[in-house]
């Protein structure tokens, strides 16, 4: 299947963007696509071979799942690559544009939902990240 890509330009420096994207204390504040979901816990061992688990849950308590995987590449303020538990790969590239940062996420799609739905969900989370980061 063809990889899916989402992007956002964040009006913040790469060091702040990296910190908000990778630090579990920040991840819990933005890692959800809509306000009826949230991220109650996030754990991350940010190094090649390190594991992460971000809990995603509906606010009404009816649904939840762990978004988890293993980091392959960790290049501070430049590139993250990780494998999810189902063996899909995700690449996140951080590109500095002065005091702005372009983030591009490219990922292997899963097979349960159509590509457009997946792209919309990942873009919504990235937009939520952008709004959170710009409020810092």
Q: What is the pTM of this model?
A: 0.95
- State pLDDT tens for residues 9-66: 999 999 999 999 999 999 999 999 999 999 999 999 999 999 999 999 999 999 999 9
Neighbours of 121 (CB within 10 A): 15
Domain of residue 27, residue span: 4-134
Burial letters 4-36, b for 16+ CB under 10 A, else e: bebebebebebebbbbbbbebebbbbbbbbeee
Residue 44 CA to residue 27 CA, distance in Å, equals 10
CA 16, distance to chain mean position in Å, is 15
Number of domains in the chain: 1
Q: Which CATH number characterizes residue 10's domain?
A: 3.30.530.20
């Amino acid at each position: 299947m063809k990889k899916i890509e989402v992007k956002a330009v964040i009006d913040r420096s790469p060091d702040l963007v990296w910190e908000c994207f990778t630090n579990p204390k920040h991840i819990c504040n933005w890692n959800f696509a809509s306000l009826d979901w949230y991220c109650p816990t996030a754990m991350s061992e940010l190094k090649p071979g390190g594991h992460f688990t971000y809990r995603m849950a509906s606010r009404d308590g009816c649904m939840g799942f762990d978004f988890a995987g293993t980091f392959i590449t960790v290049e501070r303020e430049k590139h993250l690559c990780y494998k999810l538990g189902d063996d899909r790969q995700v690449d996140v590239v951080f590109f500095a544009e002065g005091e702005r940062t372009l983030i591009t996420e490219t990922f292997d799609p899963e097979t349960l939902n159509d590509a457009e739905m997946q792209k919309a969900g990942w873009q919504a989370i990235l937009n939520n990240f952008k709004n959170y980061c710009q409020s810092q």
